[in-house]
Amino acid sequence: MKIAVLRERFEGESRVAATPETVAKYIGLGAEVAVEKGAGTGSRISDDQFKEAGATIGATAAATLKGADIVLCVRRPAASELSGVNKGALVIGALDPYGNEKDVAALAKAGVAAVSMEFMPRITRAQVMDILSSQANLAGYQAVMEAAAVFDRAMPMMMTAAGTVRPAKAFVMGAGVAGLQAIATAKRLGAVVSATDVRAAAGEQVESLGAKFIMTDALKDASGTGGYARELTKDEQAAQAELVAGHISKQDIVVTTALIPGRPAPKLVSKAMVESMTPGSVIVDLAAERGGNVELTQPGKVIIHNGVTIIGYTNLAAHIPTTASQLYARNLLSFIDTLVDKKEKKLAINWDDELVKATVLTRDGAVVHPNFMAAAPAAAPKADTAHDIAAKPASAKKPAAKKAPAKTEMAHDPEANSAPAKKPATRKPAASKATASKAATAPKADIAHDPEAKPASRKPAARKPAAKTAAAEPHPQSDATAKAPAAKKPAARKPAAKKPAAPKGGEK
């Protein structure tokens, strides 16, 4: 089992996918590790340090990749750069597949199994493998440090002989991993911090860090799935914008963190809001890579508008590469540890494991992740609910047999418009047959699976009135049928005829 660690070629990327610490542990798992020359330079890790940990240094990418079973990277490598790896080799990293579907398809053609660590499920077992959380945590910290570096005033309150210096006011928009770390960092620097989030549950976390939580009364809660917030309605957006507009004008530092993978960043701060801030204020937009939360953000740049500095760096974690690489490398190690047979000391991938299924983009020459398969994206969700697209017609009939009056079935299937009148007749008599005899229960299954069996089930319904049982009376739903009411009415009159006899005895 050979693991190759590549030098990053993406502009501005200074992180590395392995460290001497993780290299030593890979070797302990039975792996041979090859690191491309200069791979750790940006993170202050020399080739000699990798050698001391037991890795070999590849002079070129080709030499490093030759015969590799696993390729570790930070950014997605080009498919053309992976020649020489073993067939089916794992390429593991932050592959950023959204918007790069052609590159994902190219990786599939290259015959590698591409694993996108951004898709790691947010479950307890996978927390130690979550690269989004580890890197967002550092981004939140660095956002405040970048703001403090350009803020031309002191952050904490200072009481001096010359007078008191008021503390800076910091406002964090979004209390996820990055937001919470930004709050904690700003508090450590002495700022007065406030924060907002559309998820009500975030309030306790914000307040636990000593910040003030603000939330509009018009927005009860916008929690979504996977730890992210759902999309706001127009009314909720308007209420949130009004809240922000009234608060942001009084702030010295603003950090925006609203970002959902695969989607454009929501616009939270308008040009007018920026212009309402005092000159010298700073905004750090952590969503710049997806267009930014601020209307004026320019991804990858720092601009000044009306005296307000807007920082739009797209890779803040890479601004502290040594720490970022340490955490990122440990994330990858924790995941690879689940793919290795410790006794045999070789790869033993369970392709049905929930972590693997959630993160694998390509395998055996094809794109296999449901979000990126060649089939229409809309088809995947349908298959998830029905489990088999081809089986949908059959699955549609079964609920119709159990819930005959369901209007949704008639609305979607023109041919079913005439069926509801017949189906109730077969179901309800069948329910009363269960009390009469075991033979009556068999038609139920036939009705659900075979439409042609319905006529046969009606005949026993016609004979049923002969059985004068009290069980037929407590089913008023059967009055909706054409024949059943006639059969039940005589049964209801007979008890009525006996009741008068009782009053006569009472008169005596």
pLDDT in tens, 308-321: 999 999 999 999 99
Average pLDDT over residues 48-56: 97
130 has catalytic annotation? yes
**Do residues 458 and 425 make contact, with C-beta atoms less than 8 angstroms apart?**
yes
% residues pLDDT > 70 (the chain) = 69
Average pLDDT over residues 227-238: 65
Q: Which of 228, 237, 270, 446 is catalytic?
A: 228
- Two tokens, residue 209: 């860090």
- Per-residue b/e over 159-194, b at no fewer than 16 CB within 10 Å? eeeeeeeebbbbbbbbbbbbbbbbbbbbbebebbbb
Q: Which of 56-65, 227-236, 269-278, 474-483 has the lowest mean pLDDT?
A: 474-483
Question: Which residues, 6 or more positions from 227, have their beta carbon under 8 angstroms from its beta carbon?
Answer: 122, 176
15 has catalytic annotation? no
Q: Which helix (H) or strand (E) holds 432?
A: helix 422-436
Q: Which of 66-70, 102-106, 218-222 has the lowest mean pLDDT?
A: 218-222
Which residue type, as a one-letter code, is found at position 398?
K
Half-sphere exposure of 407 (CA within 13 A, CB side): 0
Q: Which of 14, 133, 142, 251 is catalytic?
A: 133
pLDDT of residue 486: 42
pLDDT in tens, 400-445: 444 444 443 333 443 443 344 444 444 444 444 444 444 444 444 4
pLDDT in tens, 145-186: 999 999 999 999 999 999 999 999 999 999 999 999 999 999
If one counts every other C-beta atom within 10 angstroms of the C-beta of residue 469, the result is 11
pLDDT in tens, 180-218: 999 999 999 999 999 998 888 889 999 999 999 998 665
If one counts every other C-beta atom within 10 angstroms of the C-beta of residue 70, the result is 25
Q: How far apart are CA 227 and CA 176, in angstroms?
A: 8
Q: Which of 9, 44, 48, 122 is catalytic?
A: 122
133 has catalytic annotation? yes
Nearest Cα neighbor of 37 from 24, 21, 25, 49 is 49
Which residue type, as a one-letter code, is found at position 226?
G
pLDDT in tens, 82-117: 999 999 999 999 999 998 999 999 999 999 999 999
Nearest Cα neighbor of 362 from 111, 131, 119, 100 is 111
Assign 458 a pLDDT band (cuts: 50, 70, 90): very low
pLDDT of residue 259: 84
**Beta strands 253-256; 282-285: pairing state:** parallel
Q: How far apart are CA 323 and CA 334, in angstroms?
A: 17
**Do residues 24 and 32 make contact, with C-beta atoms less than 8 angstroms apart?**
no
**Do residues 64 and 58 make contact, with C-beta atoms less than 8 angstroms apart?**
yes
Q: Inform me whether the pLDDT recorded for 381 exceeds 70.
A: no
Q: Which of 57-61, 150-154, 233-237, 432-436 has the lowest mean pLDDT?
A: 432-436
Q: Which of 69, 130, 197, 252 is catalytic?
A: 130
Which residue type, as a one-letter code, is found at position 461?
A
Q: Inform me whether the pLDDT recorded for 487 exceeds 60.
A: no
pLDDT in tens, 355-369: 999 999 999 999 999
Helix/strand/coil for 19:
coil
> What are the Cα distances from residue 458, in Å, to 327, 443, 446, 467?
70, 10, 12, 16
Q: How far apart are CA 261 and CA 185, in angstroms?
A: 25
User: What's the mean pLDDT when you consider all of the chain?
Assistant: 79
Sign of the CA dihedral 377, 378, 380, 381?
Answer: positive
Assign 238 a pLDDT band (cuts: 50, 70, 90): confident
313 has catalytic annotation? no
pLDDT of residue 241: 80
136 Rama sector, left if φ>0, alpha if ψ -120 to 50, beta otherwise: alpha
76 has catalytic annotation? no
% residues pLDDT > 90 (the chain) = 62
Question: Which residues, 6 or more positions from 427, have their beta carbon under 8 angstroms from its beta carbon?
Answer: 401, 402, 404, 444, 447
Average pLDDT over residues 11-40: 96
pLDDT of residue 376: 33
Q: Which of 127, 237, 276, 326 is catalytic?
A: 127
Average pLDDT over residues 266-288: 95
Average pLDDT over residues 8-28: 96
Assign 228 a pLDDT band (cuts: 50, 70, 90): low
Assign 128 a pLDDT band (cuts: 50, 70, 90): very high
- Two tokens, residue 336: 């690879």
Average pLDDT over residues 42-51: 97
The DSSP secondary-structure symbol of 361 reads -
Residue of higher predicted confidence among 339 and 418: 339
Beta-ladder partners of 434: none
Q: Look-up: residue for tokens 């029905």?
A: 386
Q: How far apart are CA 200 and CA 489, in angstroms?
A: 58
Q: Which of 13-22, 284-293, 336-345, 390-399 has the lowest mean pLDDT?
A: 390-399
Q: Which helix (H) or strand (E) holds 412?
A: helix 407-412
